[in-house]
């Protein structure tokens, strides 16, 4: 069988991890495929940086066309990151009938539909396992193992930085800033962590999952997302007393023909499997119509875990080349699902109010909730006796607009000093 020739765009964390796994497990890969995978060229910006790289110096180039237009190259592996020029290179590679493998969440979240269609037109494949959940095989699970299921729901912890910070705040009582500094020192948070902390990174990944699992194209900007910057150690302690951990959850679920979708800090009951996903680990909890519930857990980033996802995609593409069979890349045509609406949907909520401790305050607040159709599951009062005390309410499932109306009314009560916190509460779907 003909060997498979790969051109690599980028030799950073993931690119070098990919090359290391290829070298280390060469025999296993060759025996599995019946042919070898050979890296022919590697694109970087700064050649001097790669003088002592673990692959021959002459493989490196700064000219992308030496890879993208080389007729001998079968698969282009894009690992440079960012939107441009990564998107242009992927597009050009597909136009040149190269199979493409990428771990680039931004390009797939923003341009997935166009690139999948282009790949179909060019009769090649585009694979992107590494773009969500690092080493966790979520895309393969959805597209292959669960291909005949109707996916009902995906709830994920898909950002390692925020999960590390929340775990450290919970176990040590440290504040957000200290936990963030520790995450940065240990390499679990970037120097500029804004996209992770604000929930944007998770929204990009959720956009990809929604496309793959439901065939619905949602731009990351359309997904309501809230990050964890405002979560205090006090909130984590209150949640713990009530039997919950706070996790940044990315959720997409069917709801009577609509899609509920959001990224939100959420109270997860201790007994739920997602509550035990700690530190930088990621997990995806999936509900399929036939398979029922399952959870995938593992490292959501890193050189070797993400390299592992990339190489599995390359092997998959190699199999397609060798056998010349090709399934469609487009997801939209696969599921033929047009949601009636895409919104953040209904949720149970945890509300902490800071109130003046005086008679009648609880009654006027519960009346305001009731008047606006928000039903309460529990009320907890902490630290009686001070002038200002926290009052915590957990609601039953309620649409956001009803809760918002109730809170507008509640804010106007003289005894209410502030609405200190609004978090979602994860309820097991039926």
Ligand X SMILES: NC(=O)c1ccc[n+]([C@@H]2O[C@H](COP(=O)([O-])OP(=O)(O)OC[C@H]3O[C@@H](n4cnc5c(N)ncnc54)[C@H](OP(=O)(O)O)[C@@H]3O)[C@@H](O)[C@H]2O)c1
Cα separation, 137 vs 306, in Å, equals 10
51 belongs to the binding site for ligand X (CB under 6 A): no
Q: CB–CB of 279/269 below 8 Å?
A: no
Query: Which region among 79-87, 198-206, 370-378, 408-416 touches ligand X (by CB under 6 A)?
Result: 79-87
Bridge partners, residue 39, by sequence: 6
Query: Which region among 10-18, 205-213, 375-383, 416-424 touches ligand X (by CB under 6 A)?
Result: 10-18
Task: Restricting to residues 398-427, name those near ligand X by CB under 6 A.
Answer: none
Choosing from 2, 45, 324, 384, the residue that interacts with ligand X (CB under 6 A) is 45
Residue closer to ligand X by CB (options 80, 151) is 80
43 belongs to the binding site for ligand X (CB under 6 A): yes
Nearest approach in angstroms of CB 49 to ligand X is 5
Q: Which residue number is nearest to ligand X in terms of Cβ?
A: 12
Residue closer to ligand X by CB (options 50, 335) is 50
Residue closer to ligand X by CB (options 28, 46) is 46
Choosing from 19, 103, 179, 226, the residue that interacts with ligand X (CB under 6 A) is 103
The 3 state secondary structure assigned to the chain is CCCEEEEEECCCHHHHHHHHHHHHCHHHHHHHHCCCEEEEEEECCCHHHHCCCCCCHHHEECCCHHHHCCCCCCEEEECCCCCCCHHHHHHHHHHCCCEEEECCHHHHHHHHHHHHHHHHHCCCCEECHHHCCCCCCHHHHHHHHCCCCCEEEEEEECCHHHHHHHHHHHHHCCCHHHHHHHHHHCCCCCCCCHHHHCCHHHHHHHHHHHHHHHCCCCCHHHCCECCCCCCCHHHHHHHHHCCEEEEEEEEEEEECCEEEEEEEEEEEECCCHHHHCCCCEEEEEEEECCCEEEEEEEECCCHHHHHHHHHHHHHHHHHHHHHCCCCCCCCHHHHCCCCCCEECCEEEEEEEEEEECCCCHHHHHHHHHHHCCCCEEEEEECCCCCCEEEEEEEECCEEHHHHHHHHHHHHCCCCEEEEEEEEEECCCCC
Choosing from 27, 46, 256, 323, the residue that interacts with ligand X (CB under 6 A) is 46
> What is the distance, to the nearest Å, from the Cα of residue 382 to the centroid of all Cα atoms in its chain?
35
Choosing from 112, 130, 156, 339, the residue that interacts with ligand X (CB under 6 A) is 130
Nearest approach in angstroms of CB 132 to ligand X is 8
Cα separation, 152 vs 171, in Å, equals 33
Residue closer to ligand X by CB (options 136, 267) is 136
Residue showing tokens 């292959």: 144
44 belongs to the binding site for ligand X (CB under 6 A): yes
13 belongs to the binding site for ligand X (CB under 6 A): yes
Choosing from 1, 24, 49, 147, the residue that interacts with ligand X (CB under 6 A) is 49
Known catalytic membership, residue 205: yes
284 belongs to the binding site for ligand X (CB under 6 A): no
Active-site residue, selected from the candidate residues 205, 247, 287, 299: 205
Cα separation, 197 vs 229, in Å, equals 6
85 belongs to the binding site for ligand X (CB under 6 A): yes
Nearest approach in angstroms of CB 378 to ligand X is 39
Query: Which region among 98-106, 207-215, 224-232, 410-418 touches ligand X (by CB under 6 A)?
Result: 98-106
Residue closer to ligand X by CB (options 134, 345) is 134
Choosing from 19, 79, 218, 368, the residue that interacts with ligand X (CB under 6 A) is 79
Contacts of 370 (CB under 8 A, 6+ apart): none
Query: Which region among 66-74, 102-110, 204-212, 363-371 touches ligand X (by CB under 6 A)?
Result: 102-110
159 belongs to the binding site for ligand X (CB under 6 A): no
Nearest approach in angstroms of CB 44 to ligand X is 4
Cα separation, 339 vs 8, in Å, equals 38
Nearest approach in angstroms of CB 144 to ligand X is 20
Choosing from 87, 104, 266, 398, the residue that interacts with ligand X (CB under 6 A) is 104
Nearest approach in angstroms of CB 37 to ligand X is 19
81 belongs to the binding site for ligand X (CB under 6 A): yes
Residue closer to ligand X by CB (options 68, 315) is 68
Contacts of 92 (CB under 8 A, 6+ apart): 68, 69
Query: Which region among 45-53, 221-229, 336-344, 372-380 touches ligand X (by CB under 6 A)?
Result: 45-53
Residues of this chain that bind ligand X (CB under 6 A): 10-15, 43-46, 49, 79-81, 85, 103-105, 130, 134, 301-302, 306
Q: Which residues are catalytic?
A: 205
């Amino acid at each position: 069988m003909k060997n498979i020739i790969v051109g690599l765009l980028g030799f950073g964390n993931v690119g070098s991890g990919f090359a290391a796994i290829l070298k280390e497990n060469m025999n296993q890969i060759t025996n599995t495929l019946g042919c070898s995978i050979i890296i022919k060229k590697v694109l970087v910006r700064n050649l001097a940086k790669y003088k002592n790289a673990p692959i021959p110096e002459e493989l490196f180039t700064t000219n992308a066309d030496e890879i993208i237009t080389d007729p001998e190259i079968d698969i282009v592996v894009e690992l440079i990151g960012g939107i441009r020029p990564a998107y242009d290179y992927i597009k050009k590679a597909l136009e040149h009938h190269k199979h493409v493998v990428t771990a680039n969440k931004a390009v797939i979240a923003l341009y997935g539909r166009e690139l999948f269609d282009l790949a179909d037109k060019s009769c090649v494949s585009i694979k992107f396992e590494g773009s969500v959940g690092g080493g966790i095989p979520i895309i393969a699970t959805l597209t292959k193992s669960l291909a005949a299921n109707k996916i009902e729901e995906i709830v994920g912890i898909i950002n390692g930085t925020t999960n590390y910070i929340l775990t450290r705040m919970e176990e040590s009582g440290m504040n957000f800033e200290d936990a963030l500094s520790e995450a940065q020192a240990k390499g679990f948070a970037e120097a500029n962590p804004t996209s992770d902390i604000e929930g944007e990174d998770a929204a990009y990944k959720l956009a990809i999952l929604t496309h793959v699992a439901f065939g619905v194209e949602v731009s990351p900007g359309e997904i309501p997302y809230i990050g964890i910057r405002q979560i205090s150690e006090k909130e984590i302690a209150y949640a713990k007393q009530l039997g919950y951990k706070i996790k940044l959850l990315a959720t997409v679920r069917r709801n009577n023909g609509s899609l509920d979708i959001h990224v939100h800090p959420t109270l997860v009951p201790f007994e739920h499997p997602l509550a035990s996903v700690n530190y930088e680990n990621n997990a995806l909890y999936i509900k399929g119509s036939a398979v029922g519930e399952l959870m995938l857990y593992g490292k959501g980033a890193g050189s070797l875990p993400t390299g592992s996802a990339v190489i599995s995609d390359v092997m998959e593409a190699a199999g397609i080349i060798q056998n010349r069979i090709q399934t469609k890349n487009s997801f939209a045509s696969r599921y033929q699902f047009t949601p009636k609406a895409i919104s953040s949907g209904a949720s149970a909520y945890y509300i902490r109010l800071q109130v003046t401790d005086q008679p009648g305050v609880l009654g006027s607040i519960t009346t305001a909730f009731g008047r606006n159709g928000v039903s309460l599951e529990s009320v907890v009062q902490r630290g009686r006796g001070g002038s200002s005390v926290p009052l915590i309410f957990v609601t039953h499932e309620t649409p956001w607009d009803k809760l918002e109306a109730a809170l507008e009314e509640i804010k106007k009560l003289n005894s209410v000093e502030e609405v200190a916190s609004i978090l979602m509460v994860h309820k097991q779907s039926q």
